[in-house]
Each structure stands twice: as C-alpha cells, then as structure tokens.
Amino acid sequence: MYEVVPEYSYANKTCTGVADTFSITIMPNNSVSLTSYIQACGYENEVMLFCENNSSDITLYYKVIFSDKALEAGFSNMNNLALLSGDSISIAIPSGMESGGYIGHLYIKNNYSEQYDIYDFAIDIMQSTRIIQQPDSKVVICDSDSFIYLEVEAEGSNLNYQWYKDGLPIAGATQTFYEKTDAASSDFGSYTVEVIGDCGAIMSSASSVESNNIFIMQKWDDVIFVSNRDSVGNIRGIESYQWYRAYPDGSIMPVQDKGQSQYYSENGMQGAFAVEVTFADGSKQMSCPYTMNQTKIAVVEIYPNPGKSNEKLSVFLDLAGSEVNGSEIEVFDELGKLIDKKTAAGNITEFYLNVPPATYLFKIIEPNGNVITRKVAIN
C-alpha cells in the first residue's frame, strides 16, 4: 500500500513527488536541491536523502518528520535539529520493513530565521526477492507422454528468471516455467531456476527429472502386478499398493482392492490402470498407466466399499455394448425401499447417502434394459 506525495506550492517553485529519482531546486533563497523519490530494498539499513546546501553564505539546519503510516511501519522522526553538511542525509530503515511507499517531510531553516521550509519526499521500499512456491522436487516421465513441466512462483521487484539443467543455463528458458514436450533420456537430470530481482537473487531447490521405474506387468489375461525389485534385481522396499483406474484426461479413480502387489477385477480388465506405491520411508510414487485389452464386459465398480454415511461414493460404469449416459442408478435399503436415484451422465456418478449403517443395493438399469446390481456396506 503506497502513500501519495501531495503537491505543495512554494514561493518560487512547485514540487510534486513522482516515480522517478530527480533533483529540483525549491525556495531559491535557501538554495536547496532535493531528491524527492528514493528506492531501497527492505534488507538495507539506510537510505540516503540527497539534499545539498549550495550557498556558502547560509548555514542550514534540518529535521525529518514522517507521516503516521511511516511511523506505524517503524520509521522514526528525527526531531532534533542537525547541521546540513555534505550532500546527503542518512535515514535508517527499520529491520524487517514491509514493501510499500512511505512519506517523509524534511524541515529546513537557516541561521537567520526560525521559520521552516518544508520539502516532501517518498521512500519506496521494494519487495525482497523470494520464492514462495518451489518447483516440484521430482518429475517422473512416462514413455507415453515424454513431457517435462516445471514452475516456480516468486515475488519481488522487476523479476527475471533463468533455468538450469545440471548447473548449466538452458538457452531461452527465462520464464516462470520450463516445459519440454519431446523429452528424452538426455533430458533427465537436476533442474533449478534462479530468480533475479532489484532486491536480490535466489536459487530454487533442485527438481529431479527421471524415468518412471514403477512398471506394471501383466501376469495373466486378467491379472496385473508390480514387482518389489528394480530393473537390476534390488529390493525396493515397497510396503503398500493402491490401484487406480486411469482415464484419457489424466484423472484417476481408486479401485476396490486389498492393497496387494497384484490386481484383478471380476468385472474384467478393460481399460487403463495405474498403481501408487508407498515405500518404507513414507514416500509415494505413481506408476505410468498400463492398458488392458481383455474382452470387454460390463464393468461396475463402487468405491469405497464399505463406505460411510454422508461421504462420497463413486459409481464407475463401463457398460459393454451399451451407452453409459442415460443409465439409471437406484439405491435400495434392505427392505427394498428406494433411498436415492440418479441418471448417469458419464463414467462416474457420485452419491452422498445420509443413511444408517447397513447393506444397500445399487441397481443399474442400462438404456437397453439390462440390469446390474451391486451391494455396498455403509458403516
């Protein structure tokens, strides 16, 4: 938030603060030239207000009074008169000063009069350069996409950017983000970005770009799995697995399983699947999608099962030989009472059931009249 330098008229000159540094002469009888706009960084200890007495016949004295906003921010008045000697006045910048514009008033009197001439000046404390959102620490590349995208978020004054790979600058990579659509193994490595501003430069943390080494393999026609050993046979220490169904738009939905290294579905294995593994140190990694082309049958999956009252239940439909859109999904309690009903408008339909703990029946009526049922436990 910036204060505005007001305009004052003096006997022989008008002074208006502007957004550039310049020197003007006001009140020629005192022969004072004043720089009315000063820029500084928040980490600096002082700024210099250039104000020079150009007359050898007059002795000048000064004091500095700040606006209320500047005082609240931490500036201190210089109430005691001081001799104006040299060509500048040192003004202390409070520690931890927030960026913004602050107004001060320079009071000057000569040795022949008790009357003050007042000159206004502005101090613009610029934002120190800092990174507020680091690039992703790891980017894992799948053979199917070969796409690198890294981004940094920073704040400061007049920022510029330079991306580096393995410590060497990348030609033309001077934006807040770096992307490459045709990444190859030669692009694997460590990436950083330097953010340079008027108030300092800072280097980001490193981002590792590497190949995805979590491979899904097909065991039988209807079973996929992930090995706990890497490509050279070393045990990787995978402790748990969460399988997902993957969609062309990049979205995923968890599928009901027991957290095992292999996955199969009684509904058939048609479409793309991915798995997120959790290592012993708590870190996680998602695999690349793996596509199964088993003979297509109707697929109905409800997650989570068991579920909880008033929490989301996702019903996934992939109906063999029939359109999903227009399918009716009805929910019944154990007595056959209709609890809820929705019309599917895509592969996933969401329910929030405000019901007591029990087992409920989901009835899917395809547009062609076929009926599929699934039971879901609500705890």
Mean pLDDT, residues 277-302: 80
CATH number of 130-211: 2.60.40.10
Residue 22 pLDDT: 30
Q: Which CATH number fits domain 8-126: 3.40.50.720, 3.40.50.150, 3.40.47.10, 2.60.40.10?
A: 2.60.40.10
Distances (CA, A) of 133 to 126, 167, 197: 20, 20, 16
Angle (nearest 5°) at CA 225 between 222 and 226: 165
User: Can you state the percent helix, strand and coil of the chain, rounding each to 5?
Assistant: 0, 50, 45
The arithmetic mean of pLDDT across residues 74-97, rounded, is 88
Using DSSP's 3-state secondary structure scheme, residue 161 falls into: strand
The answer on pLDDT for 6 being more than 70 is no
CA atoms of 47 and 53, how far apart (whole Å): 19
* 133-151 pLDDT tens trace: 999 998 888 765 678 999 9
Question: Is 363:371 a contact under the CB 8 Å cutoff?
Answer: yes
Q: How far apart are CA 74 and CA 354, in angstroms?
A: 56
The pLDDT of residue 194: 98
- Kindly state the average pLDDT of the residues 245-265: 79
Equal fold, 130-211 vs 299-378: yes
Domain edges within the chain: 8-126, 130-211, 216-293, 299-378
pLDDT band at 267 (very low <50, low <70, confident <90, very high): low
Beta pairing, strands 189-197 & 252-254: unpaired
Per residue in 104-137, pLDDT (tens digit) is 999 988 888 888 888 888 888 898 899 999 999 9
Strand-pairing partners, residue 24, are: 34
Confidence (pLDDT) at 27: 38
- Angle ∠(348,354,367) on CA atoms, nearest 5: 35
Fold of 216-293: Immunoglobulin-like (2.60.40)
Instruction: Give the number of residues written for the chain.
Output: 379
Angle (CA) 252 257 259, round 5°: 95
pTM exceeds 0.75, yes or no: no
Q: How far apart are CA 94 and CA 158, in angstroms?
A: 23
Q: Is the pLDDT of residue 28 over 50?
A: no
Report residue 21's pLDDT band, with 50, 70 and 90 as the boundaries.
very low
Residue 32 has pLDDT above 60, yes or no: no
Look at residue 342 and tell me whether its pLDDT is greater than 80. Answer: yes
- Which pLDDT value is given to residue 9? 33
The third-level CATH classification (topology) of the domain covering 299-378 is Immunoglobulin-like (2.60.40)
Q: Whole-number mean pLDDT of the chain?
A: 82
pLDDT of residue 97: 83
What is the Cα–Cα distance from 40 to 51, expressed in whole angstroms? 17
